[in-house]
Amino acid sequence: MTKADRTRLRIIEASLPLFLEKGYNGTSMRELMSASGVKAGNFYFHFDSKKALALAVMDEAEEIFFDVMNAACEAEGLSPAQKLGAMMGALAALIEARDCAGGCLFANFALEMSDADEDLRERTAAFFERWRLMIEKLVRDARREGELPSNIDSSGFSEYIIMALEGGIMLSRLKKDAAPLKFAFSTLRDHIFSLKEKPTLQDG
């Protein structure tokens, strides 16, 4: 890693918690510069706008997120439905480890910026689509192995998992308490494991 690469990474790593807790509009370039400890000329060499920095921070946050999700699924001997459960549990643990502060960067940006900036909206939507595809693969695997009913809408149901978890992260952040997210996780898990036995439920 070159010195310039290290500086760039330092700016990104210092900016992530600020964007996470204070939002896009609530964070100024001055604060981001100060948090990174990088002088203005060098800072602007790497990021000439808050938007460019936010996009780079989303790239970094996305990699961290999928590293955690993939690690949870790679534990040995898990069935596809168990991998779904492990992934949801890892997410709850990740949020709880931060005492629920900040919540999810992508949901925050989705709600704050999706009517205001089309580039940020598209970048945020791409994150959720990548996550949905990861979950959909597990849903399809579970369906093939008989853990989920053969007629389940794998695309819609994978998005439903994301919706319930993101709503849980929102309420947990608001209440500064991991309990809502954990309840969403356990209810979703029970729901998934119950579907196998009630294959007609997703017909409607």
Residues that bind a second copy (CB under 8 A): 21-23, 25-26, 101-103, 107-108, 110-116, 121, 124-125, 128, 153, 156-157, 159-160, 162-168, 170-171, 173-176, 180, 183-184, 186-187, 190-191, 194, 197-198, 201-202, 204
Question: Quick one: which of 194, 161, 197, 167 has its CA closest to 180?
Answer: 167
Q: How far is the CB of 58 from a second copy (least distance, A)?
A: 13
The CB density around residue 112, as the number of other CB atoms within 10 Å, is 17
Q: How far is the CB of 83 from a second copy (least distance, A)?
A: 18
Q: Which is closer to a second copy, CB of 38 or CB of 192?
A: 192
Produce one character per residue of 119-132: b if its CB has 16 or more CB atoms within 10 Å, e if not. Answer: ebeebbeebbeebb
Residue with tokens 């598209």, as numbered in its chain:
122
Burial of 63 (0-12, 13-18, 19+ CB in 10 A): exposed
Task: State CA 186 to chain mean position distance.
Answer: 18
Q: How far is the CB of 158 from a second copy (least distance, A)?
A: 10
How many angstroms separate the CA atoms of 31 and 28, rounded?
5
Q: Which is closer to a second copy, CB of 60 or CB of 112?
A: 112
How many angstroms separate the CA atoms of 172 and 104, rounded?
11
Q: Which is closer to a second copy, CB of 10 or CB of 177?
A: 177
Q: Which is closer to a second copy, CB of 42 or CB of 114?
A: 114
Q: Which is closer to a second copy, CB of 89 or CB of 167?
A: 167
Q: How far is the CB of 44 from a second copy (least distance, A)?
A: 23
Q: How far is the CB of 104 from a second copy (least distance, A)?
A: 8
